Amino acid sequence: MKKLIMTGSEGTIGTVLKEPLNNLYKVYTVDQVGDDTDRFYKADITDFESFKKIFSKIGDVKYIIHLGADSRVDAPWDSVLRNNIIGTKNVYECARLFGVRRIVFASSNHVTGLYEGTPPTLHKQKTPRVITVNDPVRPDSDYGNSKLFGEGLARQYYELYDVQSICLRIGTVTKEDDPRADERMRKTWLSHRDLIQLIQKSLQAPVEFGIYYGVSNNDGRFWDISNAQKELGYEPADNAGSI
């Protein structure tokens, strides 16, 4: 089984992914919370030397799923800089140094969040036209900008060092897997089942670099997933409108 490192493994998305991926890969997880085990490393990805030692210990890592970040849209700049920008740079640099084949990078829909409205009225979003990955970016926060940085870094490391990357602008994933909390979520929900499929397809698709929206096949969704369907083979099974 090929070796895979998942950062931010103890968050909502990582918790959803661990068990199904363990059936397909030899998964090693990294997070700032928890106790070390044979396959889990308590570590801060912003500490480059410590993070690099994990790769040395595991050896022959083929894939990284990079989820580690301060995921708060209103996160303060100091935290965004440290966790989302420096941390992501460290992930890509370790991939280069240790010959990692591919990274699946958890970007965010907040890279284009201002299509939904202008702060401070983000909680009263409008429904925009359908947004594609070819549309100009419109980040809505420092958090959104940090994910845009990650997409740019992914492209840089692909062009210069042949580190393949699939960047996923992930929609709304909740612990409860229930999209009925508010009207926006009914359009932006990414179900657990569709998330698992999207990650698995991203790891194996014959695409060396790409940016894709990650959302279920919801009525009224406003992110285009046609390139994910065509290039990754992603076929979402769930629709918040049917719940």
Give tens-digit pLDDT for 158-211: 999 999 999 999 999 999 999 998 899 999 999 999 999 999 999 999 999 999
Q: Residue 10's pLDDT band (boundaries 50, 70, 90)?
A: very high
In tens, the pLDDT along 114-135 reads 999 876 555 556 788 999 999 9
From the list 28, 41, 92, 143, the catalytic residue is 143
pLDDT over 70 (residue 225): yes
- Domain residue spans of the chain: 3-242
Q: What does the pLDDT read at residue 87?
A: 98
Q: What does the pLDDT read at residue 85?
A: 98
| Mean of pLDDT over the chain | 95
Tell me whether residue 92 is one of the annotated catalytic residues. no
Q: What percent of the chain has pLDDT over 70?
A: 97
Per the CB < 8 A criterion, the answer to whether 170 and 150 are in contact is no
Per the CB < 8 A criterion, the answer to whether 45 and 91 are in contact is yes
Q: Residue 34's pLDDT band (boundaries 50, 70, 90)?
A: confident
Q: What does the pLDDT read at residue 33?
A: 87
> In what order do the strands lie in the sheet containing 164-170?
40-42, 26-31, 3-7, 61-66, 102-108, 164-170, 209-214
Least confident range of 39-53, 113-127, 186-200, 212-226: 113-127
Tell me what the mean pLDDT of segment 140-166 comes to: 98
Q: Which residues contact 51 (CB under 8 A, 6 or more apart)?
A: 30, 43, 44, 45, 90, 91, 94
Q: What does the pLDDT read at residue 121?
A: 52
What is the DSSP code (8-state) at residue 112?
G
Is the CATH code 3.40.50.150 the one for domain 3-242? Answer: no
Q: What does the pLDDT read at residue 66?
A: 98
Q: Tell which residue, 176, 185, 197, has the closest CA to residue 241.
A: 185
Tell me what the mean pLDDT of segment 56-78 comes to: 97
Answer with the residue of higher pLDDT: 72 or 122: 72
